Structure 1
Amino acid sequence: MTTASGPNRPATPDNPLIPGFHPDPSICRVGDDYYIAVSSFEYLPGIPLFHSRDLSDWTLIGHVAERPGQLDVGQVPTMGGAWAPTLRHHDGRFWCVVTDAMGRGSLIFTAERPEGPWSDGTVMRGVDGIDPDIAWDEDGTCYVTYSGLLLSGGVPTHLGIQQVRMDPETGQALQEPRSLWSGTGLMFPEAPHLYSIDGTWYLMIAEGGTERGHSVSIARSDRPDGPFEGCPANPVLSARSTDRPVQNTGHGDLVRTADGCWLMVMLGMRPRGMARAFSPMGRETFVTPVRWADGWPVVEPVRLAEPGPAVSRHEDFAAGVPGPEWVAVRRSPSEVVSSYGRPGALRLRADGSDMDSLRPVFLGVRQEHEEASFTAELDVSSGTGGLSLRMDELHHYDIEAGPGTVRARARVGPLSQSWELPRPGDASAVLLRISTGPVTFPSDGRGSLEHGGPDTVRLSVGTGDGWQELAALDGRYVSAEIAASFTGRVAGLYAADGTVNVRWFHYEGHDTKR
């Protein structure tokens, strides 16, 4: 049992807590250690796990799903895959429950240590829905509470918040699902979390949809299975109809800190553009303080920190397989990196796919800053490949090099446009860059629709004495709102033909003042 006592106003770490495409956070504290798990959708490895001891500096320590078969995302539709994990520690073990949407279904993973190895995943039987939560009462009874969104059978049907008693070892529900409190009547009640605090059971959910109407509401009961009464101040958190720089705040999870304070982690978005309509990095992880009054949580608005120093990371691939931040689409990175050619080079071998494919030969990292650049040196003497800024297979910007040619390409829904020029120089190595930066407004100071996007994406090739730009594209078409995507931008390397050796990759990023 946790308690609501303690200091009333905790210090808050800087936001975003975990930048870039890291949605649906669930937080767990074990002693002085904090852990966060987030959604990964069609990307592998799946379900990233972060660790911190000060709640400010977070390190990616691994993933729940790192082996074949733990998630069945190989052929899932876009937006399918690993949705909304709940991370908990109980009886000496770590537990992660998650929905493998359009894949295996709702799953229970366990591990002795958060770094893994995690179990293969037990399929829950009798749980038809998404966003599962797991909790235990004092006598050890396990409850799985979830959002009753039925994904099978054509048009989705929503049954509201549901709950079953569960045998967590076998995944078998021990009763028929029962309906619980499902919010204030806003659409899509989801992301339930059940807590026992000071002898009272709290049911916290998201409602209003994961777009601008997203919010957090809460109810309480003297029993884990209800009935629940809603908080008079619901929703206790929402940014809708405000000018706050962090929007779409919802899908929250509570944690009591080691010094007795309370915090809520949640997803949010940093929309940009003239109408603040486009979010390039999609849904990120944020945090805000919580205090208690009359037995209810009072949640402060989510505040965005002043920009920190610029970040620079260089990967020369000398150590072999790239680090855990590198992901592939619907297959593991080990399937994409076919072998190592010469020492210090990452080899990608084309297989007939391209960036329009569901399973491209692609290896990428998340964009984490509002202004970023991705640069790579590639040996294309035996193939064609390059860099891609990807939202999904229908929304991506690419720059690639092959024998004698450099090509920039924009894919936006059913439309595709490309720009070509002869490759500078005659060496096998070529430098390619994708950069995101401010929108350039007309000299007369007047904006227009064509200048209303969040940023400008520039696709360039190195010439030996500088950079030659092939295309400067509106960033709105690779943003979460245009792609209607649950993910965010992932940028990285791909092979379209033959074999491509990547000598190094460099990321630079910084945020801008509001």
Structure 2
Amino acid sequence: MKLQAYENPVLRGFSGDPSICRSADGRGYYLVTSSFEYFPGVPLHYSEDLVHWELVNYVLKRREQLDLTDVPPSGGLWAPTIRCHEGRYYMTTTNRTMGGNFYVWTDDPRGDWSDPVFVDLDGIDPSFTFDGGHVYYYGACPAPDGTPGISMMEIDIATGKALTDIRFLWAGSGNRSPEAPHIYHIGDWYYLTIAEGGTQFGHMETAARSRNIWGPYEGAPCNPILTNVHTRNPEIQCTGHSDLIQDQNGNWWAVHIGLRMAQKYLSHIGRETFLSPVSWTEDGWPVINGRRWVEIESAGPLLPAYEAKEEPVRDDFEGDQLELCWNYLRNPDLSRYNLKERPGCLTLRGSALRLDDIGSPTVVCRRQKYFDCHMTAKMEFLPEQDGEEAGIAVFLSNEFYYKIGKRRENGEDFLVLEKRAEDFYQQVCKISVEHEKPLYLGIQAERLRYTFRWGYEESDVAIAGYASTRFLSCEVAGRSFTGAFAGMYATGNGRDSAAKAAFDFFEMKPDEESRFADLAT
């Protein structure tokens, strides 16, 4: 078998909890990932070689499908699963904050999906297996005695109603947090794979099997079948939460999460989607990447290369719809975002909400996909009343962000650079600026710091200040499952804004990436 080199991760930037299925025509693959508090929900990617992916849709684009009202950071949508059965696509997930487990369906994954069908199964990380005319629905749901593990029932796929009692399947191999189950009927066996150890540095993937889908399940003697715990290369950590797929050539693969470290034990990019080959032991157990640690430079029996459409480096806002790479915080008030008022510009009008607030402040943002990149925007903003503000920001949540923008105070306009890390606030600079002139605002990202710049001309910008990337890392923030986003914002800082900010472009351009250094700081 000829192995070819490829580079992980195959999806950069926050793209955790991947799930994959073959397309109905057999030519390609669809992949979904978690979206938590961001809207639209559940990004949908397509590929024909498993390595090069393009964002083609979101599964949940209507408020009726996805209520994110006041969900906290890393609340909302957790861990989707996608499957294709008899030409119809199904996606199931958990709205952790509002409603529980549900699924939606469509015959055209690039079009609209159905309204949610809720399922009466507690827990998280739901999945389903279509087998022999039956639909089995299961997730991380404890046993009646409270034992953590995987529970399952059969459902009517037309209604979501239970056709059997809920039965407990497996408690895992003995590690904490058994979750993210998938069951595959391969030959005479039903294989159950799950994640264990929590989605931090103890993360791993384990497997069990049974001749009967209801069990009893026997754990693999080679468990864990994937982990980067105790790796000699600390650049990649937290591997696990996988989904298996067989390609057109009969080769097996796993998509799974991993975390690229910016520095030792800290990463602000977030959990990303990795691809690893799957092999089978002599006694019929799957192992991922040969049970070796996953690294950036990977190899496997690749399919012919697919030319995926890349997300734009620079968006000049020339269309009548935003590019798919843009996201909102929770359910947006779309009347505050306008591409038609000034052709070739995105116009934002701030509400009373700030970046600090749990709600949907006027923010449009995209994933930071590169440790080393520069982000630049041109903004025209003529604030009319005190408190009106607009600019660009890089953030992890409402409590961890950096922003640079223009604000009106006491009848004057100022360029302000401000940081927040939980209960620590700092105003790095406050510079008087001209009211009428447009501003160029920039954020230069490196592995360990951000540099903030501003000016009246793109070719003549000054440094406003610096900020460490560590305070946007998931590990510093605590219970954070997302990653850094960057984009544009507008706010009235406590009252509705009358003035509008017009952004002529936003660019996120990758620079030559520095390599990980095993730093203790």
TM-score normalised to structure 1 length: 0.89
Q: Note the C-alpha offset of 1:420.
A: 2.9
Q: Does residue 292 of the first structure (1) align with residue 295 of the second (2)?
A: no
1:478 to 441, 448, 472: 472
Please state whether the residue corresponding to 1:119 is helix, strand or coil: coil
Q: Does residue 348 of the first structure (1) align with residue 348 of the second (2)?
A: yes
Is contact 2:190-2:211 (8 Å) kept? yes
Cα distance in 2 for partners of 1:120, 1:305 equals 41
Q: Which amino acid aligns with 1:468?
A: A
Q: Which amino acid aligns with 2:99?
A: R
Q: Which amino acid aligns with 1:264?
A: A
Is contact 1:184-1:234 (8 Å) kept? yes
Residues 1:461 and 1:249: Cα distance change in structure 2 (over 3 Å): same
Q: Deviations over 1:198-257 (max 9, x none)?
A: 121000000000000000000001111111100001011110121332110010000001
Q: Which amino acid aligns with 1:252?
A: S
Counterpart for residue 39 of structure 2 = 44
Q: Note the C-alpha offset of 1:322.
A: 1.3
Counterpart for residue 459 of structure 1 = 452
Is contact 1:88-1:94 (8 Å) kept? yes
Counterpart for residue 485 of structure 2 = 490
Please state whether the residue corresponding to 1:258 is helix, strand or coil: coil
Please state whether the residue corresponding to 1:482 is helix, strand or coil: helix
Is contact 2:381-2:501 (8 Å) kept? yes
Q: Deviations over 1:82-134 (max 9, x none)?
A: 11001000122001010011112101110102112100111112x01100011
Residues 1:25 and 1:217: Cα distance change in structure 2 (over 3 Å): same
Cα distance in 1 for partners of 2:403, 2:311 equals 23
Counterpart for residue 112 of structure 1 = 107
Counterpart for residue 125 of structure 2 = 131
Cα distance in 2 for partners of 1:339, 1:27 equals 34
Q: Does residue 239 of the first structure (1) align with residue 239 of the second (2)?
A: no
Q: Note the C-alpha offset of 1:338.
A: 4.7
Cα distance in 2 for partners of 1:342, 1:456 equals 35
Q: Where in structure 2 are the equivalents of 1:63-462 lying within 5 Å?
A: 63-125=58-120, 127-138=121-132, 140-148=133-141, 159-244=148-233, 245-273=235-263, 276-293=264-281, 294-300=283-289, 301-305=293-297, 313-332=313-332, 334=334, 336-338=336-338, 340-358=340-358, 359-382=360-383, 383-403=388-408, 404-424=413-433, 427-438=436-447, 455-462=448-455
Q: Which amino acid aligns with 1:289?
A: P
Counterpart for residue 17 of structure 1 = 10
Cα distance in 2 for partners of 1:104, 1:239 equals 34
Q: Could you list the runs of 5+ residues in structure 2 that have no partner in the other structure?
A: 299-309, 517-521
Q: Note the C-alpha offset of 1:398.
A: 0.5
Q: Which amino acid aligns with 2:406?
A: A
Q: For the aligned residues, what is the CA RMSD?
A: 2.0
Residues 1:48 and 1:317: Cα distance change in structure 2 (over 3 Å): same
Cα distance in 2 for partners of 1:268, 1:355 equals 28
Is contact 1:425-1:463 (8 Å) kept? no
Q: Note the C-alpha offset of 1:482.
A: 1.0
Is contact 2:179-2:196 (8 Å) kept? yes
Cα distance in 1 for partners of 2:31, 2:336 equals 27
Q: Deviations over 1:471-500 (max 9, x none)?
A: 211110011111121000010000023321
Q: Note the C-alpha offset of 1:299.
A: 1.6
TM-score normalised to structure 2 length: 0.88
Is contact 2:205-2:226 (8 Å) kept? yes
Please state whether the residue corresponding to 1:159 is helix, strand or coil: coil
Is contact 1:391-1:478 (8 Å) kept? yes
Residues 1:335 and 1:277: Cα distance change in structure 2 (over 3 Å): farther
Of 105-114 and 465-474, more deviation after overlay is shown by 465-474
Residues 1:95 and 1:41: Cα distance change in structure 2 (over 3 Å): same
Is contact 2:18-2:273 (8 Å) kept? yes
Is contact 2:148-2:177 (8 Å) kept? no
Residues 1:158 and 1:345: Cα distance change in structure 2 (over 3 Å): farther
Q: Note the C-alpha offset of 1:332.
A: 4.0
Q: Does residue 35 of the first structure (1) align with residue 33 of the second (2)?
A: no
Is contact 2:258-2:272 (8 Å) kept? yes
Cα distance in 1 for partners of 2:51, 2:434 equals 46
Is contact 1:290-1:297 (8 Å) kept? yes
Counterpart for residue 154 of structure 1 = none
Cα distance in 1 for partners of 2:354, 2:501 equals 13
Q: Which amino acid aligns with 1:270?
A: R
Counterpart for residue 305 of structure 2 = none
Q: Which amino acid aligns with 2:330?
A: R
Q: Which amino acid aligns with 1:295?
A: G
Q: Note the C-alpha offset of 1:11.
A: 4.5
Is contact 1:238-1:249 (8 Å) kept? yes
Is contact 1:312-1:509 (8 Å) kept? no
Cα distance in 2 for partners of 1:134, 1:166 equals 9
Q: Note the C-alpha offset of 1:426.
A: 5.4
Is contact 2:449-2:469 (8 Å) kept? yes
Is contact 2:268-2:483 (8 Å) kept? yes
Q: Note the C-alpha offset of 1:175.
A: 2.5
Q: Note the C-alpha offset of 1:422.
A: 2.6
Is contact 2:136-2:152 (8 Å) kept? yes
Q: Note the C-alpha offset of 1:341.
A: 2.5
Is contact 2:76-2:95 (8 Å) kept? yes
Cα distance in 1 for partners of 2:312, 2:449 equals 20
Q: Could you list the runs of 5+ residues in structure 1 that have no partner in the other structure?
A: 1-6, 151-156, 439-454
Q: Which amino acid aligns with 2:514?
A: T
Q: Which amino acid aligns with 2:256?
A: M
Identical positions, percent: 34
Residues 1:305 and 1:224: Cα distance change in structure 2 (over 3 Å): same
